[in-house]
Amino acid sequence: MTKKFLIENTKTLFYALIIAILIRSIIIQPFYIPSSSMESNLLVGDRLFVTKFSYGYSKHSFPFSPAIFKGRIMYKPPKRGDVIVFKTPADNRTDYIKRLIGLPGDTVQFIDGDVYLNGNQILKTIKSKNDIINCGNSKIKVTTFSEKLPGGKIYTASYRNDLSYKNSDKFIVPQDHFFFLGDNRDCSKDSRFLSEVGYVHKDNLVGKAQILFFSSDPSIGSIFKFWKWNHIMRFNRFFKKII
């Protein structure tokens, strides 16, 4: 009886593990936000669901990126403005989350602090001035803008009031690659930094960020301190669609 019980339970656990891996690899995967590069849209401590099927599948769709096939199958090109999780080209291991700005063949350039896409300035409108947001362990003052991309995608981006990133050379996005920016423009390692992130190949895409399902403030305390939940939990962010 004991032997049979152990065998049956081992089988159950094995099947459950396989199902969990398949769901995580093919359908949906939870992610944790560890940095402030996407503030104020995504905060440190946010937990979100990423759909794995949005752009098809590559080896990076699976845990530990096994080389089970080359390239990308069932590929569906991402749309400009999508918030995407990808593996950094530097190590093909670390997950980053940024906003897609440049598609293959696009040119992207910063001129006097404004973003130009294919020679045209991305339309931005001031929402508020002197907002305080995080940049690592520091607080910075930013001006918050509403930006509108070609195609109509509207989102929020923040620019530091001092020491803001002003000018760059033209970034020409190669074929099958993408150019990403963080919404916290002056506190983001993204495609502007070619040696650290640079252009991201389509095979490095992991999935599309869809829903923020849970959020807590780790600077206040652990979620296990339930007596502080009224301060730790960001209940207003639960089940919020990611724009």
**Residues with active-site annotation:** 37, 98
Asked if residues 40 and 158 have their Cβ atoms less than 8 Å apart, the reply is: yes
User: How far is 161 from 135, CA to CA, in rounded Å?
Assistant: 13
Contact predicate 75/56, CB 8 Å:
yes
Copy the structure tokens of residue 59: 């080896």
H/E stretch holding 11 reads: helix 2-22
Q: How many residues does the chain have?
A: 243
**DSSP SS3 for 46:** strand
Q: Please give the biggest Cα pair distance in the chain.
A: 76
What is the Cα–Cα distance from 93 to 134, expressed in whole angstroms?
Answer: 26
Q: Assess contact for 153 and 80: CB atoms under 8 A.
A: yes
